[in-house]
């Protein structure tokens, strides 16, 4: 359950499911997103997630869809973008030593570092790695 003013990190999978009607998680993503916004949640996203999402849409779908998705971010009230410094990339590498995070991506590892740094406890994602790393899924 999302509470009023809750700070929620939005991962690549959630952005893709929202952007692509044909995605199997689209309806679920729309419901979560609507619930978040109606509850007054504050969405956060990292620069690595923005890059990963845009690149996926550009290469796997079309440049037009990627550009429309990027433009749609301007309509998201209070979307906070989190920068990722070289020191945070270095900190992310520690997650690769964890055996319970098999096939982890560097983008996810940087997300964990940034979520901890900014005290974000909830992730809007369909990726179980976030729960394994100790975050609550939206």
pLDDT digits (tens, 9 = 90+) for 59-107: 999 999 999 999 999 888 789 999 999 999 999 999 999 999 999 999 9
Give me the pLDDT at residue 7, please: 97
CA distance 48 to 40: 25
Q: Is the per-residue pLDDT at 1 higher than 80?
A: no
With CA atoms as reference, report the closest residue to 107 among 54, 28, 51, 61: 51
**Token pair in block for residue 9:** 């990190």
Domain at 7-132, CATH class = alpha beta
List the strands of the sheet with 80-82, edge to edge. 80-82, 42-46, 7-10, 122-124, 136-137
Give me the pLDDT at residue 89, please: 96
Residue 106, CA distances (Å) to 14, 49, 121 in order: 17, 10, 19
CA distance 54 to 69: 8
For 109, which DSSP code? H
The average confidence (pLDDT) of the chain is 96
């Amino acid at each position: 359950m999302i509470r009023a003013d809750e700070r929620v990190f939005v991962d690549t999978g959630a952005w893709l499911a929202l952007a692509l009607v044909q995605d199997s998680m689209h309806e679920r993503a729309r419901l979560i997103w609507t619930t978040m916004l109606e509850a007054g949640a504050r969405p956060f996203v990292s620069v690595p997630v923005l890059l990963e999402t845009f690149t996926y849409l550009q290469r796997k779908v079309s440049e037009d869809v990627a550009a429309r998705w990027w433009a749609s971010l301007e309509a998201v009230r209070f979307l906070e973008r989190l920068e990722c410094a070289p020191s945070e990339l270095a900190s992310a590498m520690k997650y690769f030593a964890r055996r319970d995070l098999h096939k982890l991506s560097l983008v996810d590892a940087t997300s964990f570092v940034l979520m901890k740094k900014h005290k974000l406890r909830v992730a809007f994602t369909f990726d179980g790695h976030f729960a394994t790393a100790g975050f609550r899924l939206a």
